[in-house]
Structure 1
Amino acid sequence: MTAVQENRRDTGRNAAPGFGSVLRSEWRKFLATPANRVMLVLVFVLTIGITVLTVVFGDSAALAREQAEGEYAVIFFAGGFGTLAFAALAGNTVASEFRGPAVYTLTATPRRWRPLLAKLVIVTVLALVVGVAVAQVNFHVSQAALGAAGESTLSLGAPGMLRATLVYIPVGMAVQAVLTACAAAVLRSGAGAFVTVVLLNMLPVFTAPLLGEWWMESVPRYTYGAAVESVAGIAIPGTEGYTPTVVAVLVLGVWLAVFAAAAVTVFERRDV
């Protein structure tokens, strides 16, 4: 064997793994972490479980009145808890790296953006799958219970209903999970990232009545929560939280791009 051939063999042996290999590795790490499995179960408990408890032990007439006043109030009530739980899971998935594994991960994968991007892909895909599952189960369980009690029910065939159930919880879960994961890469804290992302969405809305008409009409509609509602078609045109669908998609894209850019920049440059 020539020196050139030997050098090529060494180079191939020492080359950084491709993104596909990193993605598979991060998926195995995700599944192997007991806390991640517990949090996934908790997401389902906090959505489907709460819906079941509500319709079994709650007042069917009161639920029907609530649904008549706001048709999405009952079917999406528990979904918000699941979205928060999944965001906490996403933040912990990234922050846990800084408690030891990151040293080994980045030794095996010197290109730091690859494991971070792999984690973001995993939480995004999981959020979409889990979000669709819990949204559809919650819809059918709640409407079946109301129908059994003789109350009026909603239909997926109603205008905008299928879009709402396929978009609101899944996309909201994915967006908040990715933002929290990116914040965790910057802050090195899952809890800190979770609180930061939640406050960035809530404060512009809660402070709007105190900051005047311009703020109320201009700022809250550009939070990621309001943008998700507009993309899902459940925001009411003319209200402070409404933006046209195309604009809402762009708003979400800006939120995700800014957080991802910050996470990659910090993750690439900072010592573990």
Structure 2
Amino acid sequence: MTATATASVRADARLGFGGVLRSEWIKFTSLRSTYWTSGVILLVWIGFALLMAGFSEFSVQGVGEDELRQYLAVIPATIGVNVGVLVAGILGVLAFSGEYSTGMVRSSLTAVPSRLPVLAAKAVVVFVWSFLLGALSVTLSFLAAQPFFAADGLAGAPDGPVLLAFLGAAVYLGLIALFGLGIGALVRAGAGGIAIVVGLIMVLPIVGGILSGWIDWVTEVLAVLPSQVGMNLTGVEGNALFGDPAYGMGASLLILAAWSAASLLLGALALKGRDA
């Protein structure tokens, strides 16, 4: 005769947010796509910095030398951000849509029936990873580019405004990754989510730029798109070489955060209201 042992689970047992966060960190860092996309961001970012520093010529004529030094410190370090945020947005989409394609989402939602902590934990993991990746990319790009300018006596020093631009680039990357995460939770399909992210970040600004020559209000719309307000975070306010954006860094940060928050809100509503 064999005895069958049964294990009982307490009705009030709950997986705390710390446990959900650890679980999501393990899942995120176990995906090959995480390292492939991160590697692409890092290599392309540094590559753009080297190309810009190695094949561009600059002169102090007509501008102040301090302004030029700030420009030469920031631009090579942040020139790769346009490609970086595109890939980061895709990474955010895959962080959630990948669970639907593999069916792992059922296990996640069974362990966390309230569902929303799963999205919140993913948001923390995706933002932290993308922010740190952006900070690393900016730092290495700055270090790689400056020797080219040092030969002409134009090496830039990372003063306060320059460091703020570096921080802005890392935040830009993190917030776009969050936007992608919300889209991934909303549409669930990787291809559809990637299409939305690419369309909003890359295609829509191009189309809008063409239409702005005929339709005046299109320019105002372009000014609040994530790609535009995000780039405002990577400039130096008061430096004429960076132009005069429609919104300052503070307002741009709020607008970009609003895009990410709206995406996550829609994703949360879809996650809460639909079956897995």
TM bracket (short chain): 0.7 to 0.9
1:145 corresponds to which letter in structure 2? F
- Candidates 28, 33, 36, aligned match of 1:35: 33
1:102 to 91, 101, 105: 105
Alpha carbons of structure 1 residues 30 and 84: separation in structure 2 relative to 1, 3 Å? same
| Paired position in structure 1 for 2:248 | 244
Q: Could you say which residue in structure 1 is the equivalent of 2:166?
A: 165
Structure 1 residue 30 displacement after superposition: 1.2
Select the structure with the greater relative contact order (CA < 8 A; seq sep ≥ 6).
2
Amino acid at match of 2:258: V
Quote how far apart the aligned CAs of 1:266 are.
Answer: 0.2
- Once the 2 structures are TM-superposed, how far is the Cα of residue 223 of structure 1 from its aligned partner? 1.2
1:155 to 151, 154, 157: 157
Residue pair 1:172, 1:225 contacting (<8 A) in 2 also: no
Asked whether the equivalents of residues 181 and 264 of structure 2 are also in contact (C-alpha less than 8 Å), the reply is: no
User: 1:170-189, aligned counterparts within 5 Å?
Assistant: 170-189=170-189
Is 1:255 paired with 2:248? Answer: no
Q: Judging changes above 3 Å, is the alpha-carbon distance between structure 1 residues 50 and 246 closer, same or farther for their aligned structure 2 residues?
A: closer
Q: Displacement, 1:208? A: 4.4
TM-score normalised to structure 1 length:
0.81
Query: Is the 8 Å Cα contact of residues 184 and 193 (structure 1) preserved in structure 2?
Result: yes
Alpha-carbon displacement from aligned partner over 1:159-216 (angstroms, at most 9, x marks no partner): 6222112212x11111111111110111112332233123224425424424422332
1:78 aligns with 2:80: yes
Q: Unaligned stretches of 5+ in structure 1?
A: 1-7
Aligned to 1:65: 58
Matches within 5 A, 1:19-58: 19-52=17-50, 54=51
Aligned length: 254
Distance (Å, rounded) in 1 between the aligned partners of 2:174 and 2:275: 28
Q: What SS does the aligned partner of 2:155 have? A: coil
CA RMSD between the two structures: 2.9
User: What 5-or-longer segments of structure 2 have no aligned partner?
Assistant: 1-7, 61-67
| Candidates 222, 225, 229, aligned match of 1:223 | 225
Range with greater deviation from structure 2 (23-32 or 78-87): 78-87
How many Å separate the matches in 1 of 2:41 and 2:14? 35
Identity over aligned pairs, percent:
23
Cα distance in 1 for residues equivalent to 2:194 and 2:79? 20
Deviation (angstroms), 1:23: 0.5
Partners of 2:25 and 2:144 in 1: how far apart?
A: 31
2:131 aligned partner, one-letter code: L
Residue aligning to 2:143 = 140
Distance between the aligned counterparts of 1:194 and 1:187, measured in 2?
Answer: 10
1:95-134 aligned at under 5 Å gives the runs: 95-99=97-101, 100-134=103-137
1:238-265 Cα shifts (integer Å, max 9, x gaps): 9784213332233123212211110000
Distance in 2 between residues matched to 1:207 and 1:261, nearest whole Å: 31
Matched residues in 1 for 2:49 and 2:253: separation? 29
The amino acid of 1:266's aligned partner reads A
For 1:215, give the aligned amino acid.
V
Is contact 2:96–2:185 with CA below 8 Å preserved after alignment?
Answer: yes
User: Larger % of helix: which?
Assistant: 1
Shift of 1:20: 1.0
Aligned to 1:5: none
Contact 2:168 2:234 in 1 (8 A): yes
Q: Is the contact made by 1:86 and 1:177 (CA closer than 8 Å) also made in structure 2? A: yes
Quote the Cα distance in structure 2 between the aligned partners of 1:51 and 1:244.
Answer: 25
Residue identity in the other structure for 1:93: A
> Are the counterparts in 1 of residues 178 and 260 from structure 2 also a CA contact under 8 Å?
yes
